Amino acid sequence: MVPASTLQSRLASILPQGLDIIAYHLSSSPASTTALFAPLPGQDEEPTICESHFLAISSPEKAGLKEVLVFAIEILIFSTPNLTTVFVSKADSSGFSSRLSASRGSPSVVAAVTSGFLDFLLQPRLNQSRVILSLFARSQNQYLFPGSIENPGKHVLDDRQLIKWWCRVLDRVLRLHSDTSDPPSSSSAHLLVPGCDKGETKAFFPPSSRQDPPSDPKWINSYPVELLVTDVAKPPRHLVPRFPDDPKSRFLDDLDGDFIDNQGRWRSIKSLDQFWEMMSYRQECSAGRLVGFLWLVFSQGQTTHTKLSELDQFAHVESLERLREQASLPTPGNSQAQENGDAGIWQQTSSDLSMIREVNSPPPSSPLEVPHDEGPSTESADANVNDGCASASVPGLTDEDVLQVHARRFNETWGELVLSTTQYQTLMDHLLQTDFAGEEKAAESTKSWIQKALGLTGKPGFGLPIQGEHVFSGSVGAEKADLQQVNVLTAVRKKRKAENIDERPASSQSTETTSNATVNILAAGLVRKKPKG
């Protein structure tokens, strides 16, 4: 029996009974990268570590049909001394979700996989004092599967549908961890749609938001700057994160190219409100197009969110020291080595730290440069994973090194294959060079991508077969009650709400319709005209 904590068992518990899929989860080793927030002139960048996760879902080969990838999502996780940020980079479907043969009336497979995967990555990290889940929803024809827009089964949501779909998906994740933990935690969702006022933005909120008390809303029309940065008095250039392929990141870069004075200020935009106002005039957010910027904020041990500036004073400043202390304590792995006088664990740690200083930055889906050194092989990455503890006695242990150690503590969420950054990007580039226009080409491209992954890593096999176990109730009342319990995304099998996220699931990218249920794709940037009226 697969342990309940694994991705395989988690997805099985939330997918419809009898549904068969194969899941391909791979990740890159944690690597040093450029800071998300630009530093003030003359100041050093905040040390930042990034790891990439990619999950692809396929319909297995059966009844004479070849295996075909039907959905994929890419997530980047950034770690700093103050913040952990989980960023949804890309999501897309190939137009062949109807091959999954989900039972009529069951929720969207795409929505279930998306929320389940996000919670799988989030859950072990939520014991930290501040965790952010971020994405932007922008409609686009195709993102990860070239040629897939030609497939008649692919239904691309327009901008409004897509933003609403993402809000529903993220609401499931949000309410899994809303004020139910011990010690207490606080969580909230924040949405900005440039060009829309508060009333228009509220229309995108999920239906569950109407049940929240006005004094404590879970969904808010705002950019939560005080929860993301320690000094909100900085110029706006330093208050907005720069994520990969993000419309606001391109705007930030354009403004930087115009003018930056010696205090880090632009000539044209003087405030954060003005920045968001001007975003509505950008090409991605104008001429009938809409982009939704979403943030989920999780604060462990806080009944209400504490400003990051205040949190930093008593929590985050101590976090690195705590990690250093943990690094010097015996662990199940290194205590035996110490007792036996074996220096192997320390040599391994030294090797880790040496690799840390040379490892690549995240995939060039981001605006960051990628060094060409190979980094660790899958085997070495696996071998370097213990309890995520390094020795504080290792010379030159920097804040960045400690962050590396910290990131490796969550190795239970690493992929079935762990690649170096260069290997990871090579595999992603290979996918973007395939062709999913038509079932035969899609099957050939699926096989080619899997073989490329095996060739890069030298592994004999890849892919986790999953059979859905969840039995969905036809009772609307029972399902509504279950939504309040929000056990759907855990390994606990309970009846699930039918208020389907999948009524028209839309993701960051696009969506598609199946013969049995509406399955939508996620597109981090799709362009559709705003509906008339």
Catalytic residues: 246
Q: What residues form DSSP beta bridges with 427?
A: none
Q: What is the DSSP letter of 148?
A: G
Torsion of CA 81, 82, 88, 89, to 10 degrees: -60
Q: Give the number of other Cβ atoms within 10 Å of residue 117's Cβ.
A: 25
Q: Which of 365, 401, 431, 478 is nearest to 148 (CA)?
A: 431
Q: At which residue do the structure tokens 């592994």 appear?
A: 459
CA pair distance 59, 23, nearest whole angstrom: 9
Question: Which burial class, exposed, middle or buried, applies to 212 when counting CB atoms under 10 A from its CB (0-12, 13-18, 19+)?
Answer: middle
Amino acid in position 476? V
Enumerate residues 6+ apart whose C-beta is below 8 A from 470.
13, 14, 15, 16, 17, 493, 496
Q: At which residue do the structure tokens 């056990």 appear?
A: 487
CA pair distance 487, 497, nearest whole angstrom: 10
Q: Which of 458, 432, 455, 463 is nearest to 67 (CA)?
A: 463
CA pair distance 441, 178, nearest whole angstrom: 44
Enumerate residues 6+ apart whose C-beta is below 8 A from 215.
none
Sign of the alpha-carbon dihedral angle for 308, 311, 317, 319: negative
Cα radius of gyration rounded to whole Å, the chain: 23
**Which tokens hold the place of 187?**
């969580």
CA pair distance 29, 404, nearest whole angstrom: 10
Judge whether 110 and 71 are in contact, CB under 8 Å: yes
Phi, psi of 16 (to 5 degrees): -60, 140
Per residue in 457-489, is it b (16+ CB within 10 Å) or e — as a string? Answer: beeeebbbebebbbebeeeeeebeebbebbbbb
Q: Are strands 68-79 and 512-513 parallel, antiparallel or unpaired?
A: unpaired
Where do the H-state alpha helices sit in 247-298?
247-258, 272-279
DSSP 471-508: PPPS-HHHHHHHHHHT-TTSSS------S-GGGS---S
Enumerate residues 6+ apart whose C-beta is below 8 A from 25.
7, 53, 54, 55, 415, 416, 417, 464
